[in-house]
Amino acid sequence: MKIGELARETGVSVRLLRYYEEVGLLTPHRPGGGHRRYAPDAPEAVHRIRVLLAAGLPTRVIREILPCVQGTGTDFDPCVTTHLRARLTELDTHITDLHAARSSLAALLTATERATTPA
């Protein structure tokens, strides 16, 4: 399938599909003429990539774990567990940091509003 067809079928822009190719997430075939041709399973691969991106995984990690796909969908071999657990830990840490920043900001706002509100 051509890149435009893949874009229409997946709802992903041609530009983004080219980016996926550039970073090693998709590999088209280039028969005579140099035009990209994608395998019939390319829409499923794009879906997997989108699911992993939505889970917060960076493209470098996605490139490492795509070979761990089992069949269709997002069923992965156990080799993915380490990457997923590491990303979950990073997100938990980030959420904790955001909660602390929010509390600090709310306290600053409260103090500022008290100082500027006439008695």
Which alpha helices (H) appear in 23-69, and where do they start and end? 42-54, 59-65
Contact 2, 35 (CB under 8 A): yes
Other C-beta atoms closer than 10 Å to the C-beta of 45 total: 20
Q: What is the pLDDT of residues 21-77, one digit of tens each?
A: 999 999 998 877 778 899 999 999 999 999 889 988 899 989 988 888 776 666 778
Domain assignments of the chain as residue spans, ordered by start: 3-116
Distance between CA atoms of residues 69 and 80, nearest Å: 9
The architecture that CATH gives domain 3-116 is Orthogonal Bundle (1.10)
pLDDT tens string 102-112: 999 999 999 99
CA gap 90, 56 in Å, rounded: 10
- Can you tell me whether residue 30 is helix, strand or coil? coil
What does the buried/exposed string (b/e) look like for 72-108 if buried means 16 or more CB atoms within 10 Å of the residue's CB?
A: eeeebeeebeebeeebeeeeeeeeeeeeeeeeeeeee
CA gap 89, 97 in Å, rounded: 12
Q: What is the pTM of this model?
A: 0.75
Q: Contact 41/71 with Cβ under 8 angstroms?
A: no
Q: Is residue 93 over pLDDT 90?
A: yes
